[in-house]
Chain A
Amino acid sequence: EIVMTQSPATLSVSPGERATLSCRASQSVSSNLAWYQQKPGQAPRLLIYGASTRATDIPPTFSGSGSGTEFTLTISSLQSEDFAVYYCHQYNNGYTFGQGTKLEIK
């Protein structure tokens, strides 16, 4: 089973600043990687799929990059509504999630 490792576990950033979240796969997942945002009490929301394609209605402040085993989610200018938990998810060989990164207000 492919293991997805996200770092850091918690990221403290000030509003208006940039946030960079990382996700590493234990073996190559090609570009079959998605990012989700989850707020308390809500279901996850798809942000990025195919490693870099924004989902419908996702603003351009969210961007994804990477392929193979190393991936990054960047939020260019943090708004108050962006503070949440973010998960990466591979769907190349089986299906596995990372353990999440909590993005909190600094």
Chain B
Amino acid sequence: QITLKESGPTLVKPTQTLTLTCTFSGFSLSTSGVGVGWIRQPPGKALEWLALIYWDDDKRYSPSLKSRLTITKDSSKNQVVLTMTDMDPVDTGTYYCAHSVRARTDVWGKGTTVTVSS
């Protein structure tokens, strides 16, 4: 059974850097075709795709947020980390990590809520 869980701060101040960790089980990020991605959702709004890292360390980013995002993996620890710099109140929302196979996203974590406020 594939499971993913997001963790990180619930509150960050404007201009700070957000670091989120996705800890997963039930699959290996060393398996060909497998990836882990991040998606976010502002309160009451639509989903927004952020970033994805593949088993071979190929990394993909949202074009509009690329300059602020970094995604890394530690396959031995079954973890993927997303950092987002220069946080702003508009970045408030729920952040999800999700399992991906051959580019399609199938299993999601429950999400973690991040509020950006001074």
Contacts and interface: CB of A to CB of B under 8 A. Distances in A.
Given A34-B104, A34-B105, A91-B104, A43 B49 contact: no
B46 A49 contact: no
Interface string B96-118: 10000001111111110000000
A24 interface: no
B13 interface: no
Contacts, number: 53
A104 to B, nearest CB: 15
A94 interface: yes
Interface residues of A, number: 23
A97 B60 contact: no
Interface of B: 37, 39, 46-49, 52, 60, 62-64, 96, 103-111
Q: Which 4 A-B pairs have the closest CB atoms?
A: A43-B108, A95-B49, A97-B47, A91-B103
Interface of A: 1, 32, 34, 36, 38, 42-46, 49-50, 55, 87, 89, 91, 94-100
